Amino acid sequence: MSAEEFWKGVRQRSIFPPSLFFVYLGVLFLMSGIHTGLIVGMNSLAWPDWVQVYIPLLYWGLVAVGLTLFTRKKIRKTYEEPMLMLAKATRQVAEGNFSVYVPPIHTPDKTDYLDQMILDFDKMVEELGSIETLKTDFFSDVSHEFKSPLAVIHSNAELLEKNGQLDENQQESVENILSASRRLSNLIQNMLKLNKLEKQTIRPMPEAFDVCAQLCECAVQFEDSWEKKNLDFEADLEDSALVYADPDLTELVWTNLLSNAIKFTPEGGTVTLTQRTEDGRVRIAVKDSGCGMTKETTKRIFDKFYQGDTSHATQGNGLGLALVKRILELSEGSITVESFVQCANMPSPNRVRPLVMVTVRSWSQPEKTPVDSVP
Reported as a single tens digit per residue, the pLDDT across 120-179 is 888 888 888 888 777 777 767 776 777 778 888 888 888 887 877 778 888 888 888 887
pLDDT at 42: 84
pTM for the model stands at 0.55
Q: Count CB-CB contacts under 10 A for residue 35.
A: 15
Contacts of 149 (CB under 8 A, 6+ apart): none
CB 103 within 8 A of CB 82: no
CA atoms within 13 Å, Cβ hemisphere of 110: 7
| Choice between 308 and 185, residue whose per-residue pLDDT is larger | 185
State CA 203 to chain mean position distance: 17
Max Cα distance, the chain (Å): 126
Look at residue 264 and give its three-state secondary structure.
coil
Kindly tell me the burial class for residue 326, based on how many C-beta atoms sit within 10 Å of its own C-beta (0-12, 13-18, 19 or more).
buried
pLDDT at 142: 72
Look at residue 154 and give its three-state secondary structure.
helix
Is 269's pLDDT higher than 70?
yes
**pLDDT tens for residues 234-257?**
888 888 888 888 888 888 888 888
SS3 readout for 207-225: EEEEHHHHHHHHHHHCHHH
Band of residue 113 on the pLDDT scale cut at 50, 70, 90: confident
Is 290's pLDDT higher than 60?
yes
What is the CATH topology of the domain spanning 207-361?
A: Heat Shock Protein 90 (3.30.565)
Beta-sheet strand order (sheet of 353-361)? 232-236, 270-278, 281-288, 353-361, 334-337
Report how far residue 297's alpha carbon sits from residue 307's, in angstroms, rounded to the nearest whole number: 8
Mean pLDDT value across residues 221-245: 87
- Any idea what the Cα angle at residue 181 is, between residues 179 and 187, rounded to 5°? 105
**Alpha-carbon torsion, ordered 335, 341, 347, 351, to 10 deg:** -20
CB 59 within 8 A of CB 34: yes
Rg (CA), the chain: 34
CB 257 within 8 A of CB 286: yes
- Any idea what the Cα angle at residue 99 is, between residues 96 and 101, rounded to 5°? 120
Among 291, 322, 326, smallest CA distance to 309 is for 291
DSSP state of 315: G
pLDDT at 372: 34
Band of residue 213 on the pLDDT scale cut at 50, 70, 90: very high
Is 340's pLDDT higher than 60?
yes
Band of residue 318 on the pLDDT scale cut at 50, 70, 90: low
Look at residue 10 and give its three-state secondary structure.
helix
**pLDDT tens for residues 347-374?**
444 444 446 666 665 554 433 333 332 3
Report how far residue 371's alpha carbon sits from residue 100's, in angstroms, rounded to the nearest whole number: 47
Q: Is the peptide bond before 355 cis (omega within 30 degrees of 0)?
A: yes
Q: Which helix (H) or strand (E) holds 276?
A: strand 270-278
Report how far residue 44's alpha carbon sits from residue 83's, in angstroms, rounded to the nearest whole number: 52
- Any idea what the Cα angle at residue 22 is, between residues 19 and 26, rounded to 5°? 140
Q: Which helix (H) or strand (E) holds 342?
A: none
Is 111's pLDDT higher than 50?
yes
